[in-house]
Amino acid sequence: MESAMETGHARVPEALASEKTKKGSKTRSRRRWRKGKAKASRLTNTMDLRTMTQSLVTLAEDNMAFFSSQGPGETARRLWDVFAGIREQALGLEPPLGHLLGKAHLFDLDAETPANGFRSLVHTARCCLAHLLHKSRYVAANRRSIFFRTSHNLAELEAYLAALTQLRALAYYAQRLLDTNQPGRLFFEGDERLIADFLREYVTLHKGCFYGRCLGFQFTPAIRPFLQTISIGLVSFGEHYKRNETGLGVTASSLFTSGRFAIDPELRGAEFERITQNLDVHFWKAFWNITEIEVLSSLANMASATVRVSRLLSLPPEAFEMPLTADPKLTVTISPALAHTGPGPVLVRLISYDLREGQDSKELSSLVKSEGPRSLELRPRPQQAPRSRSLVVHIHGGGFVAQTSKSHEPYLKSWAQELGAPILSIDYSLAPEAPFPRALEECFYAYCWAVKHCALLGSTGERICLAGDSAGGNLCFTVSLRAAAYGVRVPDGIMAAYPATMLQSTASPSRLLSLMDPLLPLSVLSKCVSAYAGGETEDHSDSDQKALGMMGLVRRDTALLLRDLRLNASSWLNSFLELSKHKAHTNLVPVVEPMRRSVSEAALAQPEGPLGTDSLKSLTLHDLSLEGSSETSENPELSLSAETLASSTPSDVNFLLQSEGTVEGAKAQEEMSTKDRSRGVGAAFPEGFHPRRSSQGATRMPLYSSPIAKNPFMSPLLAPDSMLQSLPPVHIVACALDPMLDDSVMFARRLRSLGQPVTLRVVEDLPHGFLSLAALCRETRQAAALCVERIRLILAPPDPRAAAAPV
């Protein structure tokens, strides 16, 4: 109970109010507070930025005047300080937000799709300002009440003030990007040393305030309880991981019962920040795989649609022939995945709402892999449904390091029911044990197998859609690029949900949102990409995290494997570089690939370009696009092996192709990089402004990209025009508040500039990974339904004659 001076009210004698009256008053107060918050939210959505800022400043000054008159008490002083800080930060934040908002439209895909990282950052800052505006109004209206909870409101105000301060820092960073990048470019371009300096400065910012009381403030309210549960589970799992209590005996209930993290948001936020900055990719691999625990997966499947077929299949590593689309009389050999570990089976999961012809055949049954008591969901039916005209090949997300089709099975079952088509989900090998290009090779092999054996899967294969989310969306694009490179059938369309198309370490306005995103912190994202690129070769964990039972064995074996890979890396990379020295075979039918040949070796073999092999090592992507568009090259889309595997020293390869004025643009970019480097990253902040810095020590995050990240089969955004023109129609569903939003926007813009059919739909107020949360609330269900709608456009495209007919 606060003192009378600090609450601004004398205590009411006990005899004047009964306990029942108090409870009733509190209930009515909470009801009024909720209604007031909803009303404030509606009002702030209609307010422009200047009006919102002025309203907040006026309320802050009013509250400052009140609490300054309450005497020398500590609580009154802290309340005065927090409102003074709100006033200062709100006034300082308005100019950069206004500047960003005035330029944001230049980065949209089109007028009907107003979405990019600049808009998202402004929206997030407005959400924080709106919450502070509502809270300031509440304080002004209730500060004299006996039921005013001073400590609670003070803690919340201090947390959101910290968040507002950090958002102001992000606004200055975004302004720096806006002033530095070429017009229309969202990704930071220029010298890699400058990018490293930028990231090194960025990762020192304090993040804990976004993981405590402010957790998920930018998302729809229905998501926030889920995020709080996840954050409590994460920090509890981190404790188990640190104390050697994970292994195989971890249970779901033990992860969400740490009381001190549940009742202390500040402690939870600080621990969350420590975990994201310091624990390695193996921790995230283990945590994200919690959904694979039998109890959780069974509960998720109980709430999902009931299907007749859900079978895990093991595809044997056997080469087979595929007809070429240009001349079906000719064939090409599709070899099993070979990179890093040699041939091995590929696991896929067949899901079908109805039992269709071919799905209970002996040939398919011979491929079934047992999963234990739940493995056989195939129940015989007197009559089989006919084969579907359509087939969906799905590639799951998980940062290239975690999860399987089992994690994504609940929404895939719903897809199978709504689409009336069988779905084949690919369980590709995961990094860091199997880095690039192993996953791509396995997905391409499984895709080709599905096309060839679609009759066994219950489909005639007339329409085939590739669908994936996050890392799976990346693999959908690269599998299609490889199918085009091989000359085999490409899918009829791609549906990619919040895909990653740029895996090079860089900055963009949407990437700045990773500072506050509880599902995709920047350090975690960088560790996953580094693992996929083969960069997680050492065990850098602290001594108190070693000897972790089964988890320790996994990490030890992984370190040994990657050490061997590192020893053989030079010969492996040399095999990439040697490819450009050989002339393409005149025969269109390649021979069976030898052991250890990778995707880049098999798909990138080509004749020398007009500039010669050696010149490739110093080409920019603009040069590559010119070479790729030249009619002197028969297979221009396969010309990146030498350039993409150049030295790991900082390079001048541009992130996007420049359309005109290349020489002048390059000179301007060089001058801009020199100027920016001389100014230093800290010059982004005005004098007197100091953002809060992390107290968790240096972040273990790779600052320089592996050169392999420039490979277009890893970062499709960096592919030359000739490769992207081979893609089928693309439908992208992105999240406005996703750190990967700019990947979707820039990829769609590149395809649109090439005349490729592409659509981009952006859902509001949802986090990355909403497909796995489809059953959580109305907003996630609507977003998942949008993905199904996009797939349906591919499987059953509208008749253009019907669209053109007069009404």
What are residue 655's phi and psi, to 5 degrees? Answer: -80, -30
Of residues 639, 686, 645, the one with CA closest to residue 176: 686
Neighbours of 615 (CB within 10 A): 15
**CA 361 vs CA 5, 368, 380, 512, 543: distances in Å:** 81, 11, 12, 51, 53
For residue 512, which amino acid is it?
L
Positions annotated as catalytic residues are 470
Helix axes 74-103, 150-180, angle to 10 degrees: 30
Q: Amino acid identity of 18?
A: S
List, in sequence order, the alpha helices (H) in 398-461. Answer: 405-419, 438-452
Which residues face 524 on adjacent strands? none
CA distance 25 to 12: 14
- Tell me which DSSP letter residue 183 carries: T
Two tokens, residue 324:
């070429």
Helices 778-795 and 405-419: crossing angle, nearest 10°? 70
Residues contacting residue 201 through CB under 8 Å, at least 6 positions apart: 681, 682
DSSP 3-state helix, strand, coil percentages of the chain (rounded to 5)?
Answer: 55, 10, 40
Which residue type, as a one-letter code, is found at position 653? V
Q: Which among 409, 415, 483, 412 has a CA at the least distance from the CA of 445?
A: 483
**In contact, 398 and 430? CB cutoff 8 Å:** yes
Closest CA to 494 of 729, 714, 785: 729
8 Å CB contact between 732 and 760: yes
- All residues at 6 or more sequence positions from 225 whose CB lies less than 8 Å from its CB, including other chains: none
Q: What is the Cα–Cα distance from 502 to 525, expressed in whole angstroms? A: 12
Give dist(CA 734, CA 115) in Å, integer: 9
State the residue for tokens 């004025």.
Answer: 661
Give me the helices (H) in 181-223, please. 192-202
DSSP letter, residue 256: S
Q: Is 688 left (phi over 0), alpha (psi -120 to 50) or beta?
A: left
- Other beta carbons within 10 angstroms of residue 568's beta carbon come to 12
